[in-house]
Structure formats: C-alpha cells, structure tokens
A and B are shown apart, each in its own frame.
Chain A
Amino acid sequence: MTKNLRVKSSKFVDETYKIYFKFNGKTYHGYKGDTLASALLANDIHLVGRSFKYHRPRGIMTAGSEEPNAIVQLHKNTSRTEPNVRATEVEIYEGLEASSQNCWPSVNFDIGGINNFLSPILPAGFYYKTFMWPASFWKKYEYFIRKSAGLGKSPTEPDPDIYEHRYIHCDVLVIGAGISGIIAAKIAAKNGFKTVLVDEKPYLGGSTIYQNSEYFKINNQISSSWLDKEINEIKKIENLEIKTRTSVAAFHGYNFLLAREDLLDHLPFNQRNNKIRQRLLKIRSKKVINATGSLERPLIFDNNDRPGILLSSAINKYANLYGVACGKKNVLFTNNDSVYETAISLNSKGINVEAIIDNREEVDSKLIKETENNKIKVYKGYTVVNTSGYKRINKVTIMQLSKDGQKAIGSKISINCDCLGISGGWTPAVHLFTQSGGKLKFREEDQVFIPNKYSSDQISIGSCNGDFTIDEILLSVPKNIKQFLSIKKTDFENFQAHSSFNKSKRNIWLLPSDKNIGKTMPFVDFQNDATAKDIKLALREGFRSIEHVKRYTTTGMGTDQGKLGNMHALGIISETTGSKMGELGTTTFRPPYTPLTFGTIVGRNVGEYFDTFRKTPIHDWHVRNKAEFENVGQWKRAWYYPKSGESMHDAVQRESKAARDSAGILDASTLGKIDIQGTDASEFLNRVYTNAWSKLAIGKCRYGLMLNEDGMVYDDGVTTRLAENHYIMTTTTGGAATVLGKLEDYLQTEWPELDVYLTSVTDHYATVSVCGPNSKQIVSKVIPDLNFSNESFPHMSFKNAKIGKIKCRVMRISFTGEHSYEINVQASYGKSVWERCMEIGKEFNITPYGTETMHLLRAEKGFIIVGQDTDATMTPIDLQMDWIVSKKKYDFIGKRSLYRSDTIREDRKQLVGLLTEDPDEVLEEGAQIVADINKSPVEMLGHVTSSYYSPNLKKSIALGVVRGGKKMLGQKLIIPMENKKINITVADPVFLDKENKRLNA
C-alpha cells in the first residue's frame, strides 16, 4: 500500500493530469507539475540513494539544483540514459524511469553499507593513505572500489538526441526570475534595454511565488499575488525575452556566459522525436544582473544526514508549491526565523508540526508568537544532539545549549518524528559572480559572503547580494538598478513591503554533542560523505589552506560542488584554527554551476561534423580504387591501395617495388603551396631558407630547409622560380598553414620594407607525381608537346606546358630518388590528368602508391620527413645536412643559433642510418638505442625515427637519432626490446643510389 501525502491542492500541480512513472522498477503516480522528488515524497518515499563513501541511506534534502543526495540515473541501460540527475529538478512525464545510484544490489540492501560500520577506520585521506600502498595492491582495491562505489553509469550507446548552440546578444541579461530578477527585468525592459531573463526552473517567481501568508505583504497584497501580477505584466513586454528551464552554467570575463536551455526533458519520449533537446546559449550581454538568490544552509550535528531530514525551506516549498507533506510528524530545527514561516505554512495546510527546536535562547517575533499560538511547542536554546532511524528518521534527541554554545547540557529529550526540517540561515548564491572574477567580502553580523568587487559591467541584487527579505529587496533592488542602468525613475518608488522576519541568528558552525566528536557523524558535504571530524583531522595533520583541506577531505568536490556545506567547512576551519572567515577566503567555484551533458557541449558537431577534413580533387578516385586513408593534418590522404587479400605490408611492398622497377603515381595535392611575388621575393627566400636563392635561375627548382630562430628545423620543401620576381614554394602537408603564418609574421613585423606578397594556393592546384624509370615515357605521352630530353628538362627544373587546352606546370623533382615529374594543374582538372596518366601508364604497369610507400621510398634514399625524423631539437647539422647551410649568407632565420654553445656540441643526437644484424628484423619506430646494456642505469643514446623493410634492397632499413652518431659509422649498438635484444650497426642514412644515378637517368 502506498501512502498518499498529497495535501490541499496547489495551483502549480494539475491533479486532473495523472502521470505514471517508475522508480527502482516500481510504478508510482504523480501529477503534471511534479518533480520526481515531489512525486516520490507524495508517495512517502524519502530513501533515494546511498552515500558515496559510507553507503549510508540518503533521502531528498532540498527542492532545487543544490540537491546533494537525491541524484538518480534516468532510463538505465538505454541510449537516453543519464547519470547524476537531481530528482529535485526532473519534471515527471509519462514513461519516466529513474533508479538509485551508488547502491548494489539495491538501495534497500546495499553491500557497501558495511562501510558505514567501518566508518571509524575510514577517515579523511583514508583512500590516499591505504590504497596507495603497496602500489601493486592498487589493482585489487580498485576492482572493489569501482564496483561498490562511484556514482552513475555513462551511456554506452550513441545519444539519439539533437543539440544545438545559439548566440544571444543583448543589452541586459538578468539571471534568476525570483522577485528581484522580475523587478530588475521589468525596469530594464521598460527603459528600452534589450533584456533577457533566464531561470533554471520551469516557472517564474522564485520562492516568493508560493509565499501565501499574511505575514509577507507588498503594497497591502500578499506577496505571491503581487508577484503574480508583475509576472503577467512582464510577459507582455516586447523587448524582454524570458527563458525558463535555462540554467546559466558559466560566467566568463567580458560578460560572456554559457547557459543550457532544456527544451524537451519534461516531455514523454514520443513527443521528442526530431526536436532539439537542449541548447547551449552563448550569451554576450553588455550588462549582467545577477539575481541568483540564496541557498538555505543545513545545520551540522550528529547523524544530520538521515532520509527524512530536509532543509526547512524545501519542506515549505513541497507543501506550498507541490501540495505535498514531507512527513506526518514534522520537527523543525533552526538558528533563525525561517522555519517559523514553514511551520505556519504547514499548519495552515493541516500538516502536523510536533515541535520547533531553536538554538536561540531569547528570541521573539510575530512569526514565533503566531507559531506558539498554534500550539506548536518551541524549545528555545536547545540543539539536536542526535537522530535515529536507519532508512528514515524516527526520532530526534535534543539537549540544552550552554550559554557559549560550546556544550550540550542538561538532560536529553527525545521527540518522535518522521521528518526533520533544518535551517542554518541563508547563503547568497555567489557562484556565478565569483566565476566571473568577482571578489567577495565577509559580513560578520550574519556570517555570509557577499559580492564586493565586480570584474565586469554587472551587479548582484536581492538575496544573492545579502538582502534576504522582501522589505529589504523592495527597498534596495529598484534603487540599485536605477543606478546601474542610469535611469531616473522606476515603477517601484515608494513601495510598502512588509516582512515579519526578525533577522536575529545564532550561528554555530558545528553544533555540540554530548559525545566526543570522534564518535559522531556530523556531515558537512553530504554527497562526498565528508564530516566535520574529517575537517578537524585534516587540520590536525597540518593542512591549512582551504583548497588543501578541500582536496584532502573531498569537501565540495562532488557534482554539487558543495553548494550546501562549503560555508560550514570554512566556518569549522575558522573556529578550529582561530583565523577569520574573511581572511580564509572561499574555495573557487568552477563552471558549470550545474552539470552539462556532453551533447549540449558539442551541439551539432557530431559524427561527420565532429571535425572537418580536406579531400584532394582526386579523392573520389582513391575511394573507388579501395585506398585506405591516413589523416595528415586535416587531410585524408591515400595511405596504400590493397588489392584483394593483401595486407598493408603486402600492398606497400608491391607498390614500392613497382615504383622503382617501372612507374608509380602519387597524389601530392596536399603539399602546401605558397605563391610568392614581389621585387624582393629572392631576398625574402634568402632570409627564410638556410641556403642561397639569389642565383637560382628562372625555371629551376631548389630544395630548402626552414629553421626556427632557435636553429631547429621547422619545415622543408622545393621552391621553384617561375619568373624574375615570382616563386612557388611547397611546404609539408601538415606545415602549410603554420609556414604561411610564420612568413607573414616576418613580413609584417620584422621586414615590412620588403616588397613581397604571399598567397596560399594549396587548394588551387592538384599535383600528380609520376616516378620510376618509365616515368618519362608516360609523362611525355601525357604532355606530347614538351621536350623531355635531359638537356632541355634536367632534374630540378620546371616547364610551363599544356595538356590539350589545360595549362600545367611540370616540375622534374623527386622525393623518391627516382626519375620523376610533378604535374600541377588547376584543381578541377586534377582527376582527369590523374586518369590520363593511369590510362597511358597501363602498359608500364603504373602503380598508384600511398603515403606509406612514399615514406618507405624516401627512407631508402635517406630523405628526412620533418616531424618524423626531426623534432624541435634537430638542427640541419644534426641531420648531417651541413651542405644546405650557406656559409656565405650574412643572415637567415636561425643562423645565429647554429653556433650557440649548445648547438655546436658534438654529442648532440644526430641522424644516422641503422642496419640490423638480421636483415629480416624490422625495428620498431620509437625504440630506444643503447650501447651498453649492462651499465646501470642503462644509458639511452637515441631512438629509431623511421623503419621499414625495403623490397628494393631486400633488407630492413631504419633511420634514427643517436648521440654523437655522426662519428659512430660502423659501430655496433643494441636495441633492447621486451623479450629480446636486437643488434644493429650505425650506417650512412642514404641506403640506395648514393650517386643519384636513378635521378638523373
């Protein structure tokens, strides 16, 4: 039998609209307007989860986004599953399925509950101290910890929902639509500011909207009715955009904010198809008004975490907003006036309040009188020293407080109850304010941090600014907004607001108990199970900084970032160490304020839109011919072309052999191409490359190395002189953008006097490279009008030509060591030229090859790949490429660094060839090279950078960097692998055709 705790109907919940949902497999019902939490409470369910460390039973504690305990998994084992959702924020819908987290096998019987009985030996830092030693045991501990602890489970299937990002630009953003936010938004919008008002809840009006009491009045109207009219009015204002279910996650500098707008989460699945689930709003607002409200503080006493213990304001909200009684026998415990508002509310709804325990001794206010008139027993000057009831509170034990508040005295009184409401006063919600860089100050009289210095054009108003009651709010908000927006007059002048609150408060961060603190469980951080004694232990062990105590005890490190307990942690540190709160400072609040889903963060950038990739004009041909692709920068490059049944190794061996035996063809369109023009183009190249350029004849090509100013190799490529003042430079595929950027940098900042213009033409040309002994035969048939004799068209030269009507640039250059040609044509003709070469090359077995074969062929020839055989520590001298460094040029980028004391060391790592003793043994790239394996510690001399089996040389070849390698030619070294040692010999890095016979053939 389920119990029904629904009391008098509420206008916010539609009792004619029944909704069925499942919790832990069982079906319940609630009404439209309910949250999961309110619906569970109406069914008398408090126990929702288990705590993180001790697996203590935990219930719903709050009625908002600050909830630490009632976090659930939605739609377990489906693609729409979502972990760590606060039951207090989930609006119920037909078909909703929620389940408890952090319990196994079930929330009612949880193996981990044993930790609760072990708690005396599970203090703060226990995990650090125990499970970390001995290191080899960690694997065993980890298995059990992972199984029995941890919060929700991530989904394993792709997210079926759609998300998007949207930019919003406005004059004024108001965060929070409580009474302060509504007043502010109305003033701003009515004065012509383009205003946006956001609130995380589905309704407007904050906590005032259900404040139905004679004791809180504005202009002689009950505060909720007054606010209701204001809300109806602002909905009609044209330049005011109102967004509910919209939670601001991050407040960055320059008034840039991120917010999550929920559009579908309150609807059943059948109404969600093809609609956007959530939007990430990127808001740029000229001015920001923080009206984020405040959070009620719990009280810290022994066993303050049992199911059935809620914040007093939450009990009030459940009764007034949702029409739900949290218990039948309620007890309230407070250090301020707020619980009396709850008591009167409950009383008016016929919900029984057994007693109120007030730690203040001498207090008097209209609210207290009214409470006592209602025959509710008020224990003044008392404190709760303990509670009992494992899965639901059933009793509180109270004692008198000593005058100084340090001790519990007198005899114990027990009060039976099924619900305890607690109130430790209010904490301004300054999270977003501090995220933006704002600085807080501490207000001694009520022990709160309030905004002090703003980092941007913004203001905090209402209770997040420390003005907690409606009379204070109506006095301060219009005045502050007037000033903030430079307005002369508002609609809110001379308002009469009346609040019956007495502001007195007796703040005791850790309430005393009759027991030794070591025997108590006063929770400070409910989600992470950090207690006051953990904090004291951390202080005893020498931690002082709040940031250190936080990490050691894990206080404030849960998904709720300690919204409830952080202030108490600070207070306890302050009291224990005798330091002032204001001087301790707070921990840093980080975005997001409440968790964001990954879907919202990535928006539409999923699947093929996750990252952009670039295709060459010949890409489709590669796809049709079953190429495997490799990502190079953002390019998709053909890697190798396996024939049916071929492995990658087989394909690469075949391609490599064909290229040297007859002809190979490569799509080289991805190489970076920069068009360089201007009267100072030659001088410019002189300055950016290590070799000399002034004397390069028109129509000739030259290989160049580019260094950084620190002398290290940065990029390489062939540059061709097309005309007197016109060059075309090629760069590595990955380096194209950064090389252009670097060249532009020098031109704009160091050498603005040079007449040089740079244009990226990478995408404008397709490049088809044909190599091999038969390349001349093929290319001369593709371009019949061109003279291909060695005299007319030697290696390292260039010709303008035509294929039919198509203009092309042909370079006779080679990256393979073979006689070869690169045909550059306008990109749109790339594929047809490629196909022409394939057609004509058929009789020569022309073989398309990919990047892997290209790498193998150049390694046979000892050509480097920048970024593979070099890292940012290799000079041209280290690469044994002294020949490319001009001795005559006065200066070029990096020159001076080539003779720094460090770069002239002879024992630098230098590029060498490596040959294995066993010619079939292929080295692993990255493998370490050593000379003496018995030396301790083993001295690492270098590592393998490139390694292949060469089908043309019929042996394994490798390049590597070795300390002092230049002088080690012929020396034997060792590569120690996991199960073996490989003997190698240092060799010349050029393995094939050192005389360049093939190039010039």
Chain B
Amino acid sequence: MFLINCPYCGEREQSEFKAGGEAHIVRPKQPTELSDDQWAEYLFMRKNIKGIQFERWIHIHGCRKWFNVARDTSNDVIKAVYKMGEKPPTN
C-alpha cells in the first residue's frame, strides 16, 4: 500500500484514494465532428506503460479533489503529484 501526497491535504494512505485511469486525455470539444475511429481513440484506447505513467487519482475519502500522479508502474514509486490543469513534469 503506497503513500500519496495529495496536493491539497498532504501525504495519506493509498486506501483514501481511488485511481481514475490515464491522465491528460481531454474530452473532445466537438464529439459530433469525429469519425468512429477518432471517437474510439478517445473512448477506449489507453496506454499501459512499464515505467513512468501519468494517472488521475482522487482523494475520495478526503478532500474529494482530482489530481495527477506520475507513477513508475514497475515499482509503484510516485515521482510527482500535480494539480488538474497543470502540465506533467518533464524530468
């Protein structure tokens, strides 16, 4: 069970959080303009990286805020935590 540093509350147990899948997938502004393939790309296609992955997490049993996490999926080490709307760290 890992520890997550909620950007609003500080470090808490993983059991207070819920994962919400890959981060930085923006809902298309004009879905009706998209082909089936383009819509499917947004709807279904997700990465499954071994290494640093950007993910959405919510502090569901805390402040209920969504935020982003950069997690190394090979060892669960969290490299960075940043708020919604912020860009992923580059290093």
- A interface with B by C-beta (< 8 Å): 252-254, 256, 284, 437, 455, 709-710, 741, 744-745, 748-750, 752, 890-891, 895-897, 900-901
Contact of A897 among B43, B65, B76 (CB under 8 A): B43
- In the complex, besides A437-B75, A750-B27, 18 extra interface pairs with C-beta distance below 8 angstroms are A253-B75, A253-B76, A254-B1, A254-B76, A455-B75, A744-B64, A744-B66, A748-B65, A748-B84, A749-B56, A749-B84, A750-B26, A896-B31, A896-B32, A897-B39, A897-B43, A900-B36, A900-B39
B13 to chain A, nearest CB (A): 9
What per-residue 1/0 map shows which CB atoms of B51-70 lie under 8 Å from chain A?
Answer: 00000101010001110000
What per-residue 1/0 map shows which CB atoms of B10-49 lie under 8 Å from chain A?
Answer: 0000000000100000110011101010011001000000
Contact of A745 among B30, B43, B66, B76 (CB under 8 A): B66
Of chain B, the residue at the smallest CB distance from A896 is B31
| Nearest 5 pairs of A and B residues by beta carbon | A896-B31, A254-B2, A748-B66, A750-B27, A253-B76
Contact of A900 among B1, B40, B85 (CB under 8 A): B40
Q: Which residues of B contact A455 (CB under 8 A)?
A: 75
Q: Are B43 and A709 in contact (CB under 8 A)?
A: yes
In the bound assembly, the distance between CA atoms of A900 and B65 in angstroms comes to: 32
Q: Which residues of B contact A752 (CB under 8 A)?
A: 84-85
Question: B3 within 8 Å of A by Cβ?
Answer: yes
Contact of B31 among A710, A744, A745, A895 (CB under 8 A): A895
In the bound assembly, the distance between CA atoms of A284 and B40 in angstroms comes to: 43
Q: Are A745 and B58 in contact (CB under 8 A)?
A: yes
B30 to chain A, nearest CB (A): 8
Q: Are A896 and B39 in contact (CB under 8 A)?
A: yes
Q: Which residues of B contact A253 (CB under 8 A)?
A: 1-2, 75-76
A891 to chain B, nearest CB (A): 6
- B interface with A by C-beta (< 8 Å): 1-3, 20, 26-27, 30-32, 34, 36, 39-40, 43, 56, 58, 60, 64-66, 75-76, 84-85
In the bound assembly, the distance between CA atoms of A748 and B31 in angstroms comes to: 20
In the bound assembly, the distance between CA atoms of A455 and B66 in angstroms comes to: 28
Of chain A, the residue at the smallest CB distance from B38 is A896
In the bound assembly, the distance between CA atoms of A748 and B68 in angstroms comes to: 12
Q: Are A890 and B64 in contact (CB under 8 A)?
A: no
A761 to chain B, nearest CB (A): 15
Q: Which residues of A contact B60 (CB under 8 A)?
A: 741
Of chain A, the residue at the smallest CB distance from B64 is A744
24 intermolecular pairs with C-beta atoms under 8 Å apart:
A253-B1, A253-B75, A254-B2, A254-B3, A256-B2, A437-B75, A455-B75, A709-B27, A745-B20, A748-B66, A749-B66, A750-B26, A750-B27, A752-B84, A752-B85, A890-B32, A891-B31, A895-B32, A896-B31, A896-B34, A896-B39, A900-B36, A900-B39, A900-B40
In the bound assembly, the distance between CA atoms of A315 and B40 in angstroms comes to: 68
Q: Which residues of A contact B40 (CB under 8 A)?
A: 900
Q: Which residues of B contact A284 (CB under 8 A)?
A: 3
In the bound assembly, the distance between CA atoms of A741 and B66 in angstroms comes to: 10
Of chain A, the residue at the smallest CB distance from B4 is A254
In the bound assembly, the distance between CA atoms of A335 and B83 in angstroms comes to: 61
Q: Which residues of B contact A749 (CB under 8 A)?
A: 56, 66, 84
Q: Which residues of B contact A709 (CB under 8 A)?
A: 27, 43
In the bound assembly, the distance between CA atoms of A510 and B91 in angstroms comes to: 51
Q: Are A256 and B1 in contact (CB under 8 A)?
A: yes
In the bound assembly, the distance between CA atoms of A233 and B22 in angstroms comes to: 53
Q: Are B32 and A891 in contact (CB under 8 A)?
A: yes
In the bound assembly, the distance between CA atoms of A368 and B20 in angstroms comes to: 65
Q: Which residues of B contact A750 (CB under 8 A)?
A: 26-27
Of chain A, the residue at the smallest CB distance from B3 is A254
Q: Which residues of A contact B84 (CB under 8 A)?
A: 748-749, 752
Q: Which residues of B contact A897 (CB under 8 A)?
A: 39, 43
Task: Count chain B CB atoms within 10 A of each CB in A745, A749, A901 and give the residue with the most.
Answer: A749
A17 to chain B, nearest CB (A): 43
In the bound assembly, the distance between CA atoms of A752 and B83 in angstroms comes to: 13
In the bound assembly, the distance between CA atoms of A748 and B27 in angstroms comes to: 13
Q: Which residues of B contact A890 (CB under 8 A)?
A: 32
In the bound assembly, the distance between CA atoms of A270 and B84 in angstroms comes to: 59
In the bound assembly, the distance between CA atoms of A900 and B36 in angstroms comes to: 6
